[in-house]
Amino acid sequence: MRVILIILDSLGIGALPDASLYGDAGANTLMNISARRPELFLENMLNMGLGHITGCGELLRGRDISPAGAYGRLKEASAGKDTTVGHWEIAGIIKERPFPTYPQGFPPEIIRVFEERTGHTIIGNYPASGTGIIDALGERHMETKALILYTSADSVFQIAAHEEIIPLDELYRVCAVAREILTGDHGAARVIARPFTGAKGGFARTENRKDFSLPPEGPTMLDDIKAKGLTVSAVGKIEDIFAGRGITASVHTKNNEDGVNQTLAQMKTVREGLIFTNLVDFDMIYGHRNDITGYAGALLYFDNRLPEITKAMSPADVLMITADHGCDPTAPGTDHTREYIPFLAWGRPVKKGVDIGCRSSFADIGATVREYLGVENTGKGESFWHIIKKAKE
């Protein structure tokens, strides 16, 4: 008995009622992409029920498709709209206070301690896009060896460095130091190593990114599943998001293709428990870069590979597909957007054509995963397994 839970990172499906408080009124990652790419037809996810989720009917392009799975949408109960908050809530933590953000850059007392403890100076220290800041400061970094520090609308302390100037081990070390410093009132959600290569006019980030997250603030579904003696296999940046807690096996990935491949590989070895995958390209490469065409292509790529996953499932497996927040590439700016997330469930144990409606918290997903696996829920959320489970045959 397994749950394969796949996060399509940033695939929001419409602005939440409070989205205007975050500057995100009108955001709708999936549908705004679809409106600009009318040729996009996600056949396999639509067969599971994607086009029957409230607000997603236009995806059907007028076709009559009977859903083969369960479907619906979920509202974020936590304050915020970032990766850590979204994943933590799915796993059973509702964060009432947002993580601190730094629209003016990090304060001098943080920078002073960081420089003293790492032995490095910094340049930058302002909100920026990752590609933009290395274009602006990459040459200076190579000349001075000063680390490039930047943030965004999210709670992130990001350090960019050229791999030929600052070796990866050293970049990871200074990020670990930053993680130790950023606690309490300055407890940023994530410290992120952002290595790059190339020369002026052609700098490019590499796939050696590494996240250093705060440990979860309460019990999660990962903790509960592991405590039951079941496997919790983390694919992609899941291990980083949960600071390694509640995980029995992990594999980091280079891109969405690798993420799908590694998920399939885990399905060959994990006998019972949870395979938890994050596919980050939607967010990192396309959403944050306002690349509508690229995002649409990545959706189609995943949809085309979905049959490989369903064919690898055993009769007792349940596949769940969802997201963690939005990142509308059509919206002003390049930051995350506060949106509903979609939910699809498919497998022999799942009833066909069931609408879970609009759930009040992402945490209901984690509660449902726990119930199906026979695990106690020590976190937040209300299971909807009783709604989507098929009657015994």
Nearest to 340 by CA among 83, 76, 30, 78: 76
Beta bridge partners of 231: 273
* 192 lies in the same domain as 326: no
> Helical H runs in the chain?
29-36, 43-48, 83-90, 108-118, 130-144, 168-181, 221-227, 238-241, 256-269, 281, 292-311, 363-373, 385-388
Structure tokens at 66: 């009977």
Do 344 and 71 contact (CB within 8 A), yes or no? yes
pLDDT of residue 97: 87
Residue 345 CB coordination number (10 Å): 29
pLDDT of residue 393: 56
pLDDT of residue 91: 97
The Cα angle at residue 153 between residues 177 and 336, in degrees rounded to 5: 115
pLDDT of residue 169: 96
* 75 lies in the same domain as 223: yes
Total count of domains within the chain: 2
* 69 lies in the same domain as 191: no
- Domain assignment of residue 103, yes or no: no
* 67 lies in the same domain as 181: no
Domain boundary, last residue among 181, 213, 245 = 213
The enclosing domain of 203 has a CATH number of 3.30.70.1250
- Please identify which residue in the block is written with the tokens 């070895």: 269
Do 161 and 192 contact (CB within 8 A), yes or no? no
- Domain assignment of residue 393, yes or no: no
Do 50 and 33 contact (CB within 8 A), yes or no? no
195 phi/psi in degrees, rounded to 5: -70, 150
- Domain assignment of residue 172, yes or no: yes
The enclosing domain of 350 has a CATH number of 3.40.720.10
* 202 lies in the same domain as 284: no
* 295 lies in the same domain as 283: yes
* 190 lies in the same domain as 276: no
- Domain assignment of residue 102, yes or no: no
The domain containing residue 247 runs over which residues?
2-95+217-388
- Domain assignment of residue 374, yes or no: yes
Nearest to 191 by CA among 168, 209, 165: 209
Nearest to 301 by CA among 42, 64, 62, 57: 42
CA distances 95 to 20, 181, 224, Å, are 19, 21, 19
- Domain assignment of residue 266, yes or no: yes
Domain boundary, last residue among 182, 213, 244 = 213
Structure tokens at 304: 């085309």
Half-sphere exposure of 246 (CA within 13 A, CB side): 24
- Please identify which residue in the block is written with the tokens 């790492």: 118
Q: Name the pairing type of β-strands 341-346 and 70-74.
A: antiparallel
Tell me what the pLDDT averaged over the chain comes to.
Answer: 95
Q: At what angle do helices 83-90 and 363-373 cross, to 10 degrees?
A: 40
* 191 lies in the same domain as 123: yes
Q: What is the pLDDT of residues 229-272, one digit of tens each?
A: 999 999 999 999 999 999 999 999 999 999 999 999 999 999 99
User: Which of 117-121, 128-132, 250-254, 302-306 is least confident?
Assistant: 128-132
pLDDT of residue 391: 77
Q: What is the pLDDT of residues 147-174, one digit of tens each?
A: 999 998 789 999 999 999 999 999 999 9
Mean of the pLDDT values across residues 96-105?
91
Half-sphere exposure of 119 (CA within 13 A, CB side): 4
Do 315 and 348 contact (CB within 8 A), yes or no? yes
* 75 lies in the same domain as 143: no
Domain boundary, last residue among 186, 213, 240 = 213
* 78 lies in the same domain as 118: no
Instruction: State which H helix or E strand residue 276 sits in.
Output: strand 273-279
* 191 lies in the same domain as 167: yes
pLDDT of residue 392: 72
* 226 lies in the same domain as 269: yes
- Domain assignment of residue 101, yes or no: no
Burial string for 16-46 (b: 16+ CB within 10 Å, else e) reads: beebeebebeebbbbbbbbeebeebbbebbb
Q: What is the pLDDT of residues 351-392, one digit of tens each?
A: 999 999 999 999 999 999 999 999 999 999 999 999 999 877
- Domain assignment of residue 100, yes or no: no
pLDDT of residue 351: 97
Q: What is the pLDDT of residues 193-204, one digit of tens each?
A: 999 999 988 999
CA distances 105 to 144, 153, 312, 347, Å, are 21, 11, 47, 47
Whether the per-residue pLDDT at 347 is higher than 60: the answer is yes
User: Which of 44-48, 95-99, 232-236 is least confident?
Assistant: 95-99
Q: What is the pLDDT of residues 318-341, one digit of tens each?
A: 999 999 999 999 998 888 999 999
Do 151 and 127 contact (CB within 8 A), yes or no? yes
How far does Cα 271 stand from its chain's mean position? 25
